[in-house]
Amino acid sequence: MAAIRAFRALRPAPAAAAHVAAVPYDVVSTEEARTLAARNPLSFLHVSRPEIDLPPETDPSAAIVYETAARNFETLRRAAPLMIEEAPSLYFYRLRAGLHEQTGLAACFSLQEYDANVIKKHERTTPDKEDDRTRHMLALRAQTGIVFLTYRANADLDASAVRACAAAPLYDFEAPDGVRHTIWRVDEADRDRVIGSFAHVAALYIADGHHRVASAARARSEMGARSGTTDNDAERHWFIAVAFPDNQTRILPYNRTVENLAGMTPARFLEAVRARLPVREDAAPLPLKKEVSMYLGGEWHAVGLGPVRSVVPSGVKAAQLDVSLLQTGLLEPVLGVKDIRTDKRVTFIGGARGTRELERLVDSGRAAVAFSLAPVLVDELLAVADAGEMMPPKSTWFEPKLRDGLLIHTI
């Protein structure tokens, strides 16, 4: 079962919500964050990326960064203002991007269930990123980055969402990137029904936010050690997330470019690929499953990666994913990319930037070859997580993104 609970959200006054809401801290660089927050003192980026208000030479791990985050947070609480709910609440959060729409439940989820793998992982975390968000949470005594969870769809929860979303929303605005964000508070009379429905959800899956959950777990431990108490009911034992049903969750491709051809000419490289894998000319930029579209010398080529399966097999392994087959069948044996995490020749192009960006990078000479992948299926991700395996690096890009600053969990 999945345990959830209502919480007293810290949230902006409705008139300020669109100004406060900011892209997640980890999808922009410092310079991009500085540009987005320019001339907007209410932008939550001043809290989530406080280095934008410090000299460029500032060490991003320096104490002054987290002190600035705490100071900016207190300033924002007064200026927006940010208001604390009088009573614990649940919320439905809808994202609409073009024709795509998804509605998830915003609540607090159990770190104990994260420890027990009821909330399943598919991505490894790195100590430096965990250190950063743990220090950020401890400095603010709050979790400000919302985790994106998914679960196998539940008819009762779908019905609860329909009821909640028929009421007037707390927030409803379109962000500068064209994504519409709408949030409703669950009626008190329906709250226990929603919590009960989640008791029938066998497992939750982290889609986006592995570092945020891992950091919340570390912050819980550090706060407990400082207080000298366990107090299992304390807010630090829970983390804020929005859980979306799997049939609404959208994954976009995470593509790759490689800076050079390991000393080969384009013709020799293409010959080396043909020697290992089937290649078709005049391909579409968007590939079918078990193929990759390769952009080389101004042309798209379809490269076969393996037999197409009509359904995801039970117990599918991460090694069977297209992104893994590209690595083992082409990138490593032909281009010598042994570790895609560390090879500086490789650049990852995720999300809605699409195949035009791949063409631009190759045509401009900034890359020698580009690879366009079909998106990972949600069923594939769930199957890999159920098998206890990790997804390959940079293989899933969840879009649209939740915004920081709209719902904050104080700990």
Spell out the SS3 assignment of 135-199. HHHHHHCEECCCEEEEECCCHHHHHHHHHHCCCCCCEEEECCCCCEEEEEECCHHHHHHHHHHHC
265 and 198 part of one domain: no
Q: What is the dihedral of CA 110, 115, 120, 124, to 10 degrees?
A: 120
pLDDT attached to residue 401: 95
116 and 211 part of one domain: yes
245 and 308 part of one domain: no
Model confidence band, residue 313 (pLDDT cutoffs 50, 70, 90):
low
pLDDT tens, residue by residue, 362-396? 999 999 999 999 999 999 999 999 999 999 989 99
pLDDT attached to residue 353: 85
Number of domains in the chain: 2
For residues 148 and 212, the answer to whether their CB atoms sit within 8 Å is: no
202 and 302 part of one domain: no
**DSSP code for 403:** -
pLDDT of residue 312 exceeding 70:
no
For residues 245 and 155, the answer to whether their CB atoms sit within 8 Å is: no
Structural domain of 311: 254-374
Structure tokens that stand for 8 in this block: 């007293």
Longest dimension (CA), the chain: 68
Look at residue 259 and tell me if it is in a domain: yes
Look at residue 382 and tell me if it is in a domain: no
243 and 343 part of one domain: no
Look at residue 119 and tell me if it is in a domain: yes
Q: What SS3 state is found at 178?
A: coil
pLDDT attached to residue 131: 97
77 and 189 part of one domain: yes
Q: What is the mean pLDDT of residues 76-80?
A: 98
Structure tokens that stand for 269 in this block: 């490289």
pLDDT tens, residue by residue, 183-196? 999 999 899 999 99
For residues 80 and 13, the answer to whether their CB atoms sit within 8 Å is: yes
Look at residue 392 and tell me if it is in a domain: no
Look at residue 386 and tell me if it is in a domain: no
Structure tokens that stand for 26 in this block: 């980890």
220 and 275 part of one domain: no
Complete DSSP assignment for 364-387 = TTS-SEEEEEPPPPHHHHHHHHHT
pLDDT of residue 311 exceeding 60:
no
pLDDT attached to residue 251: 96
C-alpha span between 194 and 380 (Å, rounded): 27
365 and 269 part of one domain: yes
pLDDT attached to residue 317: 81
pLDDT tens, residue by residue, 220-247? 999 998 877 777 779 999 999 999 999 9
pLDDT tens, residue by residue, 340-365? 989 999 999 987 788 999 999 999 99
360 and 323 part of one domain: yes
**238 to 7, 135, 142, 147, 176: CA distances (angstroms):** 10, 17, 11, 12, 31
pLDDT attached to residue 194: 93
pLDDT attached to residue 11: 98
pLDDT of residue 136 exceeding 60:
yes
17 and 115 part of one domain: yes
Q: What is the mean pLDDT of residues 31-59?
A: 97
- What are the strands, taking DSSP E only, across 77-215? 82-84, 91-97, 100-110, 119-120, 142-143, 147-151, 171-174, 180-185, 204-208
Cis peptide, bond prior to residue 400, ω within 30 of zero: yes
114 and 72 part of one domain: yes
CA-angle at 44, arms to 40 and 45, nearest 5°: 85
Helices and strands in the chain, H and E counts: 14, 21
DSSP bridge pairs for 102: 95
Share above pLDDT 90 across residues of the chain, in percent, rounded to a whole number: 90
Share above pLDDT 70 across residues of the chain, in percent, rounded to a whole number: 98
What is the average pLDDT value for the chain, to the nearest integer? 94
